[in-house]
Amino acid sequence: MGLKFALRMSVKHIQVFSDSQLIVNQVNRAYETKDEVLKKYLEKVQSLISLFDDFSLTHVPREENQVADQLTKRGFPDFHQHQTFEKPSYECSEIQSSDQTPCWIDRIINYLKNVIHPSNQQEAKKLRLECAKYVLISDELYRRSYAKPHTKCLRPGEAQEVMKVIHQGEYGTHARGRSLVIRILRQGFFWPNIHKDAQTFVEKCPQCQYYADMQRQPVVCGGFVVWGLDILRPMSAAIWSYKWVLVAVDYFTK
Ligand SMILES: [Zn+2]
């Protein structure tokens, strides 16, 4: 799983450390793998390793693996990625999307795989320039980024799902406009009409529209419809020697 993420981030040279002596020796072919299931995992790992320019796997005893342990505990939010497999990873040749309706992604993939060659020279040049922004990694399309990790290209159905989770999901804050787009890009996703689609999505979000209508209603009454003042008694050890706390509440509606 970690190797897949590294490939998606366009890592070419990687040094892997593991505290499992068994796995290290099996991958490095020091031990023979007899178990049929483990053989399948090993095959999968070897095919992923072949995609790196440079790969090494070293055994680190558990007690010496404290740096990695600390990193996982402390965490770097931007690099946290989780993936759930519905079946053993050796059975997933690639993580396929259920949404396979032909879309902009296929046109670029077909060009990168040399399936299409526009006969019109101008069209061919345009397509070549457009496709230069993308790269195929394990048959999945990513938009190149030189300063940051590549972003995964999404089909329209997948884009809707991602917007739903980021905008309305459990940790969604109903972000809109540029803020919503930045969140989507930060999560590592991309599609060409991202700004327009994000705006349309927010316009259709029932909660956003409900509160937008409320905000458009004129405020009928001014301030001080109801107000209250609480005085808290002298504080013994308040900051900067302040003794009294006054809490004023001003209600705009009754
Ligand atoms: Zn919303």
pLDDT digit string, tens, across residues 98-151: 556 788 999 899 999 887 778 888 988 999 999 999 999 888 899 998 777 889
Residue 195 lies in a domain: yes
Angle among Cα 189, 113, 192 to the nearest 5 degrees reads 30
Q: Are residues 148 and 123 in the same domain?
A: yes
Task: Please name which of 249, 194, 196, 202 lies closest in space to residue 226, comparing C-alpha atoms.
Answer: 249
The tally of domains found in the chain comes to 3
CA of 179 to the centre of ligand 1 (A): 13
CA of 29 to the centre of ligand 1 (A): 53
CA of 181 to the centre of ligand 1 (A): 14
pLDDT, mean of residues 40-51: 81
Q: What pLDDT score was predicted for residue 216?
A: 54
For the chain, the C-alpha Rg in angstroms (whole number) is 27
Q: Are residues 8 and 43 in the same domain?
A: yes
Least confident of 48-57, 123-132, 165-174, 209-218: 209-218
Q: What pLDDT score was predicted for residue 197?
A: 96
Domain range for 24: 1-72
Model pTM greater than 0.85?
no
Q: What pLDDT score was predicted for residue 75?
A: 46
